[in-house]
Amino acid sequence: MGIKHSRVFWMVLFVLTVLGSKPNAVAQVTDSAQVLTLRDFHRLILQYHPVASQAALLTEQARQELRMARGAFDPIISSKLYRKEYNGKEYFTLWNNALRVPTWFGPEFVAGFDQTQGQYLNPENNTPANGLSYAGISVPLGQGLFIDARRATIRQAKLMQEIVEADRIKLINKLLLQATKDYWDWLLFFRETQLYQESLELASFRLNAVKIRAQEGDLAAIDTVEALTEVQNRQVLLEQARLNYNNARLMVATHLWAEDQVPLELQESTIPAILGSELTSLPQDSLQHLLEIAKVNHPDLRKLNLKGQQLQIEQQFAADKLKPKLNVEYNVLQSDFYLNSDVLERQHMGANYKLGVSFSLPLFLREERGKLQLTKAKQQTNNLAFVQTVREVENNLLAAFNEWQALEVQIRLQERMVQNADVLRNGEVIRFQNGESSLFLVNAREMKLMEAQLKLYVLRAKYAKAKTLLYWSAGNIEVDE
């Protein structure tokens, strides 16, 4: 090859070098490649991931817990039949039926029908031949007037639904945080693999050029060893990058599921979306806005706040137990099961009734006072945990925001460093063509450029992760629908 052809050859090499290593250049993917965007990735996770399904089941469990608590207010119907015979004699037959209907405000409605007979029947159990029916009300005037075990349980069960919702959000946030980090790692190693693939192709092309010049006597034979060594070095880097990329693909695939808990595999032709890690500066008031959102909606703070409300109900119930039990029950009576028209007359109700009053009070109230003090101690513990968690949430959010801003500055600096390294490499290539430099210096400049590009990719991946971490610290990861 003549000098003219050699210069043309090196000019082509220079053009390929410049075009193949621009600061933001990414190798073109084939038309058969399928791009998995972060939006589609999140959609698949929320739709079919087992952890997402578990989170949805938490809501159903809380709904059934509330249903069980409401069961305490279900009307209760009961019936008892006792009969005794001995030596051919009927001692007695007792048939008691009752219906009790609890109310949300404390009193309980009561209705029943009793029918008894027998030679040795206890006189207090005597009823007319057609039986004795009654209807009335039982009212707690002391303990249980404003709150009782049933009302406390159902109020706490309603709060438990909100606590479970906070647990569900926390579980989903944790899942999305890890999945998003894995996605950005996948993109990082995808870019790294492409970068080393381009550099290997360039080094191989340069090796052929050096061999030709060495044959023509323009370069020393030792330069071919230098070029070959660089090719081998980049082959090693490429193999390591491929290993990292394949492992990153596996980590992403662990988050992909189809219906009926069928795991999905990422095909080799599936690649991450190139876009998504660009700089997006936050508005000036966004940090304060995120802090306000975190104080209200962060799952950990929400849980502690709701737990405090549950303990407040528990304290009210414990304080109510210090009151004496004073219950009054009144029932109007009538013969037969069917309602007669005169039952509701004042004269009848004043002459045919059953009235009961019960009173009880422990003399020392040690159990009740201990329960109340224990509940207050739990409240203080919960309040202290809330204060500490607020500080942790705020500091974590501020730390994530600081990382975001710092990475933005670093990326802008690194972009300029890549541009400078590109200029230096191109200049070194021109010097080498003019015989003023060596292949070793060209390779060194090119490696510095690749290192700068790779560091830029790493910073962009960290930046994308920092964005996700910021919203996770605020208590809710934003997912594009």
**Assigned domain for 478 exists:** no
CA distances (Å), 445 to each of 46, 130, 296, 423, 426, in order? 46, 111, 53, 10, 9
Distance CA(66)–CA(465), nearest Å, equals 39
User: Are 211 and 303 in a shared domain?
Assistant: yes
Residues 123 and 239 in one domain: no
CATH code of the domain covering residue 197: 1.20.1600.10
Dist. CA 67–CA 70, nearest whole Å: 5
Q: How confident is the model at residue 440, as a pLDDT?
A: 87
Residue 41 lies in a domain: yes
Question: What pLDDT, on the 0 to 100 scale, is given for residue 178?
Answer: 94
Is 162 contained in some domain? Answer: yes
Matching residue, tokens 């040690």: 366
Q: What are 333's strand-pairing partners?
A: 134
Q: What is the pLDDT of residue 385?
A: 96
In angstroms, what CA-CA distances link 122 with 92, 97, 116, 118, 119? 9, 18, 10, 9, 9
The residues pairing with 263 across neighbouring beta strands, listed in sequence order, are 257
- Count, in order, helices (H) and strands (E) of the chain: 10, 10
- Which amino acid belongs to residue 40? D
Tell me what pLDDT residue 23 has.
42
Query: Look-up: residue for tokens 């230096």?
Result: 424
Distance of CA 92 to the CA centre of its chain: 65
C-alpha–C-alpha distance, residues 188 and 174, integer Å: 21
Residues 189 and 282 in one domain: yes
- Do 303 and 179 fall into the same domain? yes
Would you say residue 463 lies in a domain? yes
On whether residue 7 sits in a domain, the answer given is yes
Which amino acid belongs to residue 94?
L
Burial class (CB in 10 A: 0-12, 13-18, 19+), 296: exposed
Residue 243 included in any domain? yes
Supply 137's token pair: 């009300």
Pair 155, 128 in one domain = no
Question: Which runs of consecutive H residues, i.e. helices, occur in 360-478?
Answer: 366-433, 439-473
Q: Does 283 share its domain with 354?
A: no
Q: Are residues 435 and 405 both part of a single domain?
A: yes
Residue 330 token pair: 């009144």
Structure tokens at 357: 């009053």
Q: State whether the Cα torsion 413-414-419-423 is positive or negative.
A: positive
Query: 260 and 211 in one domain?
Result: yes
- Residue 437: CB partners within 8 Å, gap ≥ 6? 428, 431
Q: What span, in angstroms and rounded, lies between the C-alpha atoms of 134 and 144? A: 24
Note the pLDDT of residue 9.
46
Blockwise average pLDDT, block size 10, the chain, 481 residues:
45 48 45 82 90 89 91 94 89 94 92 91 88 93 91 93 92 93 95 94 90 83 89 95 95 90 87 82 78 89 95 95 94 83 74 91 92 95 96 93 92 95 91 83 91 95 91 78 45
Residues 6+ apart with CB under 8 A from 365: 322
**In a shared domain, residues 163 and 235:** yes
In a domain, 217, yes or no: yes
CA atoms of 432 and 261, how far apart (whole Å):
60
Q: Any idea what the Cα angle at residue 359 is, between residues 353 and 361, rounded to 5°?
A: 170
111 three-state secondary structure: strand
Tell me how far apart the alpha carbons of residues 243 and 273 are, in angstroms, rounded to a whole number. Answer: 20
Task: Show Cβ contacts of residue 227 under 8 Å, excluding neighbours closer than 6 positions.
Answer: 203, 206, 207, 210, 211, 439
Task: Give the domain extent around 118.
Answer: 77-105+107-143+327-360
pLDDT at 24: 43
Q: Is residue 122 located within the same domain as residue 241?
A: no
Q: Are 78 and 98 in contact (CB under 8 A)?
A: yes
Q: Into how many domains does the chain fold? A: 2
Residue 370, domain member (yes or no): no
Say whether both 122 and 53 belong to one domain. Answer: no
Same-domain status, 459 and 432: yes
